[in-house]
A = this chain, B = another copy of it.
Amino acid sequence: MPAAKRRQIHLNAFLRNVGQHEAAWRLPETDVSAVTDIEHYRRLARLAEKAKLDAIFFADHPVLKDRSQDRPWDSLDPFTLIAALSGVTERIGLVATASTTYNDPYGIARRFATLDHVSRGRAAWNVVTTANAEAAANFGFEHHPDPDARYGRAAEFLDVAFGLWDSWNDDAIVGDKAGGVFVDPDRIDRLDHAGPHFRVAGPLEIPRSPQGRPVIFQAGSSEPGKELAARYAEAIFTAQPVLDEAQGFYADIKSRVRAHGRDPDKVLILPGLSFFIGGTEAEARALQDTFENLTLPTYGLAQLARITGIDFSNHDLDAVVRVPAREQGGNQKSRHDLVHHLTATETLTLRQLLRRLSAGRGHRIATGTPEQVAATIVEWFGNGAADGFNLIPPALPSSLESFVTEVLPILRSQGLFREDYEGTTLREHLGLDRPSKARRVAAGFAAAAE
């Protein structure tokens, strides 16, 4: 290992059933039963681990999405799935998304603390407030709360979770068999949190976990989302299709992190990256065409309506389309802006627009040779746009296999990506410190309980 090692790119594999692309399931190679087949996910996890990626990553959609007839969506609970995968992997990080809107903090804190124990320090929680308004009806809510309400709850949720994870001092377990003292209750702190959203006594019943607490990922690029990230997140998953905007986002977040008194080098920005890799650029474009030729307009129209709030289903698919600029607000702000920008700067039929949107869904797309894909990564990494990427394979396992086989060696040859894991925990993979336990003013568990 060289004395002054180069800054390293961080790469996660975003695993969505048979691939992120809406048409992946229609490829001849795809086994549609893989959607709920644990063996499929085991193969993907092992492939990612063999490639020494930082982590595997699962999204969360606690609702059956509309147009479910057109494509497979996330059909398994991501936390349960990743807990199961902890048993068949040894080193790779495990990032599961979970909602602060539709969970309670004690339940989340104990599940993720346990995941950190059973994976021996590989757990991360991707904190979301859930964008899909239909989820509300599965949890007894009249309406999906608005973003301010969701993010207010999220911040308090994280305060509670952090407090619970800090219940036990690392040396709380004494294990004095002769003296009959299993733990020292003075080294376990109650929480006694009482806030607008939650009242949680604590302590957590779980000893402090290998990473101190799970790594906190955050996804969501609205204003309150960025503020939440700046205060709590250690890695940020964001959709950034264009370099200069990605640079702006990167600079904005790092500056907000600094403003909160945190070290910006310890908050990693990881845009999504989808890719179509070919031996030549033409082959890569042909591969992308293969996917796009299999898209279903019904699905694309539903997505477009979700992004823009506008129903284009009566618009001729082969007529030129213009998407109006966004008014204030909207749940899919950056995606709406992107679609507007596309149709304002290019002449696209509705069919062409739907095809174009299918590839990245708002994420950066790299289509080309392995060298071209690697060059995009290095360009963003070297120019203040990314500390790494959430790789979003259009089809699984094939696209991930291509990336691992063809692109990773190029990054390795430039000394930008690890040859092997150096640590055993996800924090070590990501270059993040193990947090020390916050000292609580309140007395210990024993004292407070008496």
Contact bitstring A372-395, B, C-beta under 8 A = 1, else 0: 000000000000000000000000
B201 contacts A138, C-beta separation under 8 Å: yes
Hey, which chain B residues are within 8 Å of A47, CB to CB? none
A107 contacts B103, C-beta separation under 8 Å: yes
The docked-state distance in angstroms from the alpha carbon of A180 to that of B71 is 8
A84 contacts partner chain B, Cβ-Cβ < 8 Å: yes
A interface residues, tally (CB under 8 Å) = 82
The docked-state distance in angstroms from the alpha carbon of A411 to that of B301 is 64
Contact bitstring A105-122, B, C-beta under 8 A = 1, else 0: 011001101110111100
Hey, which chain B residues are within 8 Å of A79, CB to CB? 80, 111
Hey, which chain B residues are within 8 Å of A438, CB to CB? none
Binds B, one of A60-68, A276-284, A362-370: A60-68
Query: Which residue, of A41, A62, A201, has the highest number of chain B Cβ atoms within 10 A?
Result: A201
- Interface positions, chain A 172-207, Cβ under 8 Å from B, are 173, 175, 177, 180-185, 188, 198-207
The docked-state distance in angstroms from the alpha carbon of A87 to that of B70 is 31
A192 → chain B, closest Cβ, in Å? 9
A373 → chain B, closest Cβ, in Å? 27
Say yes or no: A202-B32 contact (C-beta < 8 A), given A64-B445, A79-B111.
no
Hey, which chain B residues are within 8 Å of A296, CB to CB? 180
The docked-state distance in angstroms from the alpha carbon of A330 to that of B106 is 27
The docked-state distance in angstroms from the alpha carbon of A76 to that of B84 is 15
A88 contacts partner chain B, Cβ-Cβ < 8 Å: yes
The docked-state distance in angstroms from the alpha carbon of A346 to that of B175 is 35
Hey, which chain B residues are within 8 Å of A120, CB to CB? 38
A441 contacts partner chain B, Cβ-Cβ < 8 Å: no
Hey, which chain B residues are within 8 Å of A73, CB to CB? 205
The docked-state distance in angstroms from the alpha carbon of A297 to that of B75 is 51
Hey, which chain B residues are within 8 Å of A138, CB to CB? 106, 200-202
A166 contacts partner chain B, Cβ-Cβ < 8 Å: no
Closest to A113 in B: B77
The docked-state distance in angstroms from the alpha carbon of A177 to that of B111 is 38
A139 contacts B104, C-beta separation under 8 Å: yes
The docked-state distance in angstroms from the alpha carbon of A138 to that of B198 is 9
A101 → chain B, closest Cβ, in Å? 12
Say yes or no: A180-B70 contact (C-beta < 8 A), given A32-B175, A77-B114.
yes
